Structure 1
Amino acid sequence: MNAVIEEPVATLTQLSQRRRDALAGTLIGTAVGDALGLPMEGLSARRQQKLFPRPLRHRFLGRYGMVSDDTEHAFMVGQALLESSDDILVFQRGLARRLRWWLIALPAGVGYATLRAILKLWLGLSPARSGVVSAGNGPAMRSALLGVYYASDPVRRHQFVRASAEITHRDVRAEVAALAVAEVGAWMAKRAEDLDALWKSLAELSTVTIWTDMVATLRGAMTNQMSVAEFARRVGAKDGVSGYALQSVPVAIYSALSHRNDFAKAMEEAIACGGDTDTVGAITGALVGARVGPTGIPHTWRQGIAEYPCSPAMLGRVAEKLAQHAEGESASGSLRYLWPISLLRNLVFLFVVLAHALRRSLPPY
């Protein structure tokens, strides 16, 4: 497989390290953005500022953060890639199997479309037929890693993103949003600077008018140096970003591109828009993380995540094995962990979510 970063002056050692940094930054950036945005999910920008005044920090479990389905899906994609040996059908079946057992562990947060699709999997439908018609952001939140892993292979990148998307969603809007996240992820991993080339590749993902218009809106906003909050309002997110893929994904992409070398700034502006803050934060974190690597993510944010199995350490191990696999080394399959602990973890997570719901009913208003 070709190197992820295409710079002829770089040595093979440098290319290998950049690949590892991009993969680790994507996974850890997903977790950090998810954890930072999770306590504020569903709040308007105004209410968010009342309950969670800046500076941005972990607040889910005291001064620690936990992750939601956004990170868990990215983790499952990484695990499925490790056992696939670049076989799309093996990858799709592996991801579908993980999604089935993930639901059995009773996650507190699961989108309605994803829930229906997984139930169809349990009823025996194949992963190619289990998706439901929904323009939700489920496929998009797990596609950045595929973009980074296949950064130098656009054909495989698109094939694997579509294989991932159709397990849960079979709406062209959800698919093109997932493809867009992967496309920007690949661009970030290469540390590219040619935005014109990126706009061209994004526009070529679909001829659907709503998408080509969105690419034009993104391009115009970047040219005019519009703030992330202004861009969110431009795409209809006046009271917070919704779970609609063609709203949440453009906001995340715009924040990531506007602050592509500053993880903290990108995260602050993306989450400040309100609404679906965990997913927007996760996608933004994945994209900027692909560019800056794990060391470009603030140390306190990385160390402040209290999780199992999706800890930054575990995500880093997945990234390392993916890099070995990409370089032709034996990665010996997916990583093992104590799955039953997920049940206990999810009970704790649910309790904390309920505590947050109670807190939101109290002043300040």
Structure 2
Amino acid sequence: MTPRPDSASGAGGRGGEHASAPGASGSAASSRAAGALYGLAIGDALGMPTQSLPRALIIERYGEVLDGFHPAPEDQPLAAGMPAGAITDDTEQALLLARLVVSSGGEVDGRELAHKLVEWEDGMRARGSLDLLGPSTKRAIEELLQGKDIGETGRYGTTNGAAMRVTPVGIATPSTDLDLLLDRVVAASAVTHNTGLALSAAAAVAAAVSAGIDGATVAEATRLAIHAAGEASKRGHWVAGADLATRIAWATTLIDTAPGTTPPRPGAVSALLSDLVGTSLASQESVPAAFAVLAAFPGDPWPAVRLAASVGGDTDTIAAIAGAIAGACHGLDGFPTDARATVARVNGLRLEELAGQLLEVRSG
């Protein structure tokens, strides 16, 4: 994939891709780990007001690509009235999982995760939020609480809930041990998403984040993600659906077919994602879409996440995944200082500390 300069960023380029290395130094790893968490939160917050909206309406209200954070309008179906820079369930569930990864030393207990998710949803409902557990997670947890075997509760989970929250597993696990990475992805996902389809999606995200922490470029991280997705497809229950590894590889090369100038304008990329790749909460749509956005802007995370938040459909998740991977590959400086400050202030986040704790698990 040929690197594309930023043709729509208000922040400009920041140094291009990092050279690959067998492992990042301590300071570089710290920046990349924090960058993954900030990237997730920034992408999530950008997509908060546009989630569940059609691309045409997003263009009408914000233009082809969002210029930054916006508050949610009163007709927003899931986040009405939320302030600019507010995160959604994507970041909140990822941070919940991160704390479990730290406390467990890497391998999360599925039952504990399920109970923590129930507590989280109760808190969200008490605050009047409609941004609650997704369909796969809700069904699985209800079955678990009714006494169903934990190996069976996630057998119908195919949506992107596991992929959207798995970033901490990637931060906490070295990319050089793919078997361990896959084991930890399954442990953190199977209670709600125990299908080859959903596990492939989660493994792709975790592997890409992990590779970024170890010094990989976006292109290199994507190659490992495709391999990890293929391996993870052999785990969990079989369900009918397009192969994630194949879909990611196809979606990332599809960008070269975007019509218009070279590089193509972001609107042309967005149209391809919306019309061909798909932007729903289905794992085989939203996760390849996130990787395709990164292929369009491999050298600069800021326009990538803004584009991801503009494609329509499950924009908060697509942008959160793209942001996490881009942040892991580029580090904290991949995002504007004011964007990081905004999500930290609006949501009361202290992500550097949590990133450091996840790195301790990684090196343990």
TM-score range with shorter-chain normalisation?
0.7 to 0.9
Is 1:218 aligned to residue 251 of structure 2?
A: yes
Is 1:20 aligned to residue 30 of structure 2?
A: yes
Q: What corresponds to 2:85 in structure 1?
A: 65
CA shift at 1:260, angstroms?
Answer: 3.1
Aligned counterparts, 1:151-170, within 5 A: 151-152=174-175, 153-170=177-194
CA shift at 1:42, angstroms?
Answer: 1.5
CA shift at 1:28, angstroms?
Answer: 1.5
Task: Give, as a single letter, the amino acid of the residue that structure 2 aligns with 1:272.
Answer: S
CA contact (8 A) 2:208 2:224 kept: no
CA shift at 1:118, angstroms?
Answer: 2.0
CA shift at 1:177, angstroms?
Answer: 1.1
Is 1:291 aligned to residue 329 of structure 2?
A: yes
CA shift at 1:127, angstroms?
Answer: 4.1
Is 1:150 aligned to residue 173 of structure 2?
A: yes
State how many pairs are aligned.
316
Shift in alpha-carbon separation, 1:113–1:29, aligned structure 2, 3 A: same
- Percent sequence identity over aligned pairs: 27
Structure 2 CA distance, aligned partners of 1:30 and 1:130? 27
Shift in alpha-carbon separation, 1:162–1:226, aligned structure 2, 3 A: farther
- The SS at the match of 1:312 is coil
Deviates more, 1:139-148 or 1:115-124: 115-124
Aligned counterparts, 1:298-309, within 5 A: 298-305=336-343
CA shift at 1:280, angstroms?
Answer: 0.6
Aligned counterparts, 1:226-237, within 5 A: 234=272, 237=275
Shift in alpha-carbon separation, 1:62–1:231, aligned structure 2, 3 A: closer
Name the Cα RMSD after superposition.
3.1
CA shift at 1:240, angstroms?
Answer: 6.5
CA shift at 1:305, angstroms?
Answer: 2.6
CA contact (8 A) 2:50 2:312 kept: yes
Q: What corresponds to 2:15 in structure 1?
A: none
Q: What corresponds to 2:16 in structure 1?
A: none
**TM-score normalized with structure 2 length:** 0.76
Residue-by-residue CA offset, 1:175-196 (whole Å, 9 max, x unaligned): 1111111122223223324947
Q: What corresponds to 2:203 in structure 1?
A: 179
- The SS at the match of 2:48 is helix
Q: What corresponds to 1:84 in structure 2?
A: 104
Structure 2 CA distance, aligned partners of 1:63 and 1:69? 15
**TM-score normalized with structure 1 length:** 0.75
Aligned counterparts, 1:237-256, within 5 A: 237=275, 241-256=279-294
Task: Give, as a single letter, the amino acid of the residue that structure 1 aligns with 2:180.
Answer: R
Shift in alpha-carbon separation, 1:46–1:23, aligned structure 2, 3 A: same
CA contact (8 A) 1:241 1:276 kept: yes
Gaps of 5+ in 2: 1-18, 73-80, 234-240, 258-262
Structure 1 CA distance, aligned partners of 2:164 and 2:243? 20
Shift in alpha-carbon separation, 1:151–1:63, aligned structure 2, 3 A: same
Structure 1 CA distance, aligned partners of 2:223 and 2:279? 22
CA shift at 1:209, angstroms?
Answer: 6.2
CA contact (8 A) 1:184 1:253 kept: no
Is 1:55 aligned to residue 71 of structure 2?
A: no
Q: What corresponds to 1:115 in structure 2?
A: 138
Residue-by-residue CA offset, 1:267-304 (whole Å, 9 max, x unaligned): 12212211111111111111111122223211222222
Structure 1 CA distance, aligned partners of 2:363 and 2:172? 11
CA shift at 1:16, angstroms?
Answer: 1.6
CA shift at 1:21, angstroms?
Answer: 1.6
Structure 2 CA distance, aligned partners of 1:173 and 1:103? 25
Q: What corresponds to 1:353 in structure 2?
A: none
Gaps of 5+ in 1: 329-365
CA shift at 1:219, angstroms?
Answer: 5.0
Structure 2 CA distance, aligned partners of 1:261 and 1:6? 14
Residue-by-residue CA offset, 1:25-83 (whole Å, 9 max, x unaligned): 11111111111101011222221122234422232467632111110111012111111
Residue-by-residue CA offset, 1:237-260 (whole Å, 9 max, x unaligned): 469711111110001012124323
Structure 2 CA distance, aligned partners of 1:48 and 1:197? 30
Q: What corresponds to 1:358 in structure 2?
A: none
Shift in alpha-carbon separation, 1:84–1:200, aligned structure 2, 3 A: closer
CA contact (8 A) 2:157 2:194 kept: yes
Q: What corresponds to 1:320 in structure 2?
A: 356
Structure 2 CA distance, aligned partners of 1:205 and 1:84? 24
Which residue of the other structure, out of 314, 318, 325, is the alignment partner of 1:280? 318
